[in-house]
Structure 1
């Protein structure tokens, strides 16, 4: 079966799951599907850099669910219409200190339209807390951040996790309408 490129131009929703996808493939997809409004990546692997250059994407919804990145040295995309961003964390083991440094050095987001962020699998690690703080301070029109904490048995770090969760509620907000829910 042959799919015409003209038909792909009108695609509005793409979901990819349980598949190896490299960033160049996603760039090609996004350049062909100019009307794409929703991109969902679930348990994909071989992604690197997550950089879509300076071209503005028409995305209104972006979901990154437990994806395995090859090189997590920066994130870059421009989506002025983005309303919903969901990121589900995966366990990064001993890389958290490196990622905190890289996040602070390379993550620059401009959230002029983003209204809802859902973070699932939150463990309260330093990296995750810094990411949340950045969203809270940069999301000038954010209305809701939902932090879905991993429910697991108490361990040696549970007190620190609880303190980190509560810290998020005290961060100065860029949006006066922002509601932060920790569930």
Structure 2
């Protein structure tokens, strides 16, 4: 069993009141949580990585629960995303370990979430920042929820670490006006519309 020893977590919360236009009736909240863990595969090639995803499931659930708390509860959360960042001794495939533990944890806790969880992955050194893409939890075609949240940790990821991130949002972009599928039109059957 690989050891993904947790070094630290950080929580980011944004309340957006306006974006150059009128002040919104209700601010939009976005929150993200990152975790820095030891990368047990750093510096070497390992053929079978997939089974290690199970070892990260408790981390995904813990981070999801903390995010829901930071969001002020589950009501109204309608956007989500995830990201992974490998330190310099890691490889991009190590960040893919986060697909199941991160994505399914949020889908499980948020209930009827149908849409795929948007994701970004990359490799970088200490202080590297990453954008977590955001999308609507039930319909990928809801343009008002296309967004991203940038996160980073000043002292990570170290060469032998992985940074895993989750993000959630409540509401579309402030002043969204690009048309497309509207939230009230979402059928929530196939994850697209």
Asked if these proteins are the same fold (TM beyond 0.5), I'd say no
Q: TM-score, normalised by structure 1?
A: 0.28
Comparing both chains, which one has the higher relative contact order based on Cα–Cα distances under 8 Å and sequence gaps of 6 or more? Answer: 2
User: Which structure features the higher share of helix residues?
Assistant: 1
